[in-house]
Structure 1
């Protein structure tokens, strides 16, 4: 504290002298001296990440700054580049306390990408420098590097201190294996240790590639996880006209035969369109003990569903003429899907009352892709009508469609691969981020509860 006062006084005295009449050489020497003092102060500023600078992607970090002047106002910035080369960034203005420290777990942001006390706000509030881009991190082998910077009060001012946060997707000892066996195409993640471990089939997307993020992080938490695609990946067809439930049954059987798998049944983790695939698996296939349905539909959508060459359900279709344009030029497609409860669409409804396993229904109330809350209500009501209580449900006000593992950049809008146009996904960033934190813990608790194994080993560490 004494040193800070001394530096401030030194600068004020120098300023007074420069405004007086002195020989030119004397002024030059004083300017040099002032610059040295300023540089020394800057060199004492430190930004720290606790408990460490390297962590799993789904873990929070505490961001702290020390060495500032008492009550100094600075700008905090976070920046990353995803695997598609898109730059995401955020910034927030903070005022140091009397000791020259800023702690994001304690101090409120005064302005910027968010306001108020938000310990992980610099991460979830990041936005792409290119419009309508979702954060892409499909390859789990490469960590996501985030650079935290402390800048002078002006947003693009001089950088005072920096630190790098390495956010990894695979915990220590977790193995990654490309799977190309029979019809199965995907990636398998296995925790360290002998097991036995519960098994999860991750249906992040039906096709067009694979995202390994959820699967690798779940494996780091003690699950054997296989993530698969049904088309558009590896040597699979680029497009499909129908979905074969046999493919997912084959993937389940592959998982159950693995040496380290100890759960009798398999868990299924879904999102959006794959939600109805997961419901169908639970309804028609043996051995599905737990299903997590996130922002899906209560009916089979888009493509007809077959099992052993027999049609189970036609696909519930949509009408793009019902898309609502916005002032930004991006569409809202919430109402384009046809009503599954209409008499002409009854054949698309999935008979989940046949399922012997358990369900966790997760719905975002501000989902603009479709009305996930209404679909969840129909699923719950259907189970209750048949005397079934094998479910849990959770709603998130203010959350949008893409609920994922926490601490990634929130996506407001991007290209819809079915609609072929840019759409709004819904949600308010702060509420959406909070929902992801809660949901991710809930998913793990649900799977552990319904995929229990004897002598299950602990989770992976860094």
Structure 2
């Protein structure tokens, strides 16, 4: 524990080291009774971007501040928010989200207590938020055309398995995949562009690539028969396509995705699914100078757009559609509604839709700092994602539990814990 004062102690409980999705308790002890103290959090991500938050607290008669039960009186958030110092962190550089290129090292969150009147540093500590439990295997995958990273939980397999399609702005994110693997799943974080020797700006996407990845995972000796898929945003249509065309997909989670193909033509054998035609006239410029593209993508079930629809009625798996009602990347609530209608019209009931008011586009793992806007690769500029920090954080917490329960229920999950 690092201390700026021998009298004042900042504690992170139960330990300074934990997994990223875990809740910690932040306490400051040894303050003068009823003293104002400002808590500040700070994170520098793998691209060197600084994220920070602050909150003002008042010590009780014992000189104690407990963030898990005491209200913040001002700053980045107010009220009792046990993890507010994390989810309320904002980037110093606008339109940035936290980037973690590789999960072998923890994300470091420095939390400091400052005198509420003078700003003097009183005490500080670093929360080391890791991604892999002891004994987990992280295996880079270069198998045929398939590129990604495979996570295998400790213990005796076989395990239920999931393909994680999280590619945002190119490259590969391992955070969600590794944290899911801690729950007893084998997870393949699958890249499909902009990673290693994969094309940075593909002119088409071949579903055969995703089929090869699914077969690789399904044939792994540590894996039970039947695999799951989790996707978000653009990759939503890819996850739905895997469920619709490929055998062996038994559970699919689609987070703020579209039931139609978007941006890039999708090919499978002799089938071509063209991208949904967008209407750039519906772009709105906000007072902040960034753009709102919520209404750029039309209703995919209109007759003129139906060629772009993913034929999810062909699928034999269970679906979980997660929707942010304040998503400004596109109308994900409409897309989920249309997906439900397509399934219902075929007499299928193996789906559920969960909706989150006031949440924005990028629903991440718990306690991830809120990202209100970001660079849109297809448009080449910053766009607003919608949502508010508190509601978005609560949505992330709720969805994380739902995703685990969904996969445990619909995959062969006797080994999942």
- What range describes the TM-score normalised by the shorter chain of this pair? over 0.9
Paired position in structure 2 for 1:316:
276
- What is the rounded CA distance, in whole Å, between the counterparts of 1:63 and 1:82 in structure 2? 22
* 1:303 is aligned to 2:264: yes
Please tell me whether the aligned partners of residues 169 and 376 of structure 2 are also in contact (alpha carbons under 8 angstroms).
Answer: no
Higher helix share: 1
Paired position in structure 1 for 2:226:
265
- What is the rounded CA distance, in whole Å, between the counterparts of 2:130 and 2:5 in structure 1? 30
- 1:41, distance to aligned residue in structure 2 (A): 10
Paired position in structure 2 for 1:294:
255
For the aligned residue pairs, the C-alpha RMSD in angstroms reads 1.5
- 1:347, distance to aligned residue in structure 2 (A): 1.0
Pick from 52, 58, 62 the counterpart of residue 15 of structure 2. 52
- 1:265, distance to aligned residue in structure 2 (A): 0.7
Please tell me whether the aligned partners of residues 207 and 229 of structure 1 are also in contact (alpha carbons under 8 angstroms).
Answer: no
- 1:320, distance to aligned residue in structure 2 (A): 2.5
Paired position in structure 2 for 1:16:
none
Paired position in structure 2 for 1:238:
200
Once the two structures are superposed, the pairs formed by residues 4-19 of structure 1 within 5 Å of their partners are none
Between Structure 1 and Structure 2, how many residues are aligned? 415
Q: TM-score, normalised by structure 2?
A: 0.97
Relative to structure 1, the CA distance from residue 206 to residue 74 in structure 2 (aligned partners, 3 Å threshold; closer, same or farther) is closer
Please tell me whether the aligned partners of residues 67 and 101 of structure 1 are also in contact (alpha carbons under 8 angstroms).
Answer: yes
Please tell me whether the aligned partners of residues 196 and 457 of structure 1 are also in contact (alpha carbons under 8 angstroms).
Answer: no
Gaps in structure 1 of 5+ consecutive residues: 1-39
Pick from 355, 367, 370 the counterpart of residue 395 of structure 1. 355
Relative to structure 1, the CA distance from residue 41 to residue 50 in structure 2 (aligned partners, 3 Å threshold; closer, same or farther) is closer
Pick from 83, 89, 101 the counterpart of residue 138 of structure 1. 101
- What is the rounded CA distance, in whole Å, between the counterparts of 1:325 and 1:282 in structure 2? 37
Gaps in structure 2 of 5+ consecutive residues: none
Paired position in structure 1 for 2:342:
382
- 1:207, distance to aligned residue in structure 2 (A): 7.0
Paired position in structure 1 for 2:190:
228
Pick from 40, 44, 65 the counterpart of residue 81 of structure 1. 44
- 1:65, distance to aligned residue in structure 2 (A): 1.1
Pick from 61, 74, 78 the counterpart of residue 98 of structure 1. 61
- What is the rounded CA distance, in whole Å, between the counterparts of 1:109 and 1:424 in structure 2? 27
- What is the rounded CA distance, in whole Å, between the counterparts of 1:216 and 1:279 in structure 2? 22
SS in structure 2 of the partner of residue 359 of structure 1: strand
* 1:359 is aligned to 2:359: no
Relative to structure 1, the CA distance from residue 344 to residue 389 in structure 2 (aligned partners, 3 Å threshold; closer, same or farther) is same
Which of 222-231 and 78-87 deviates more? Answer: 222-231
Superposed CA deviations along residues 176-213 of structure 1, whole A, max 9, x for unmatched, are 11110111011111101121210000001277210111
Relative to structure 1, the CA distance from residue 401 to residue 394 in structure 2 (aligned partners, 3 Å threshold; closer, same or farther) is same
Relative to structure 1, the CA distance from residue 207 to residue 408 in structure 2 (aligned partners, 3 Å threshold; closer, same or farther) is closer
Paired position in structure 1 for 2:27:
64
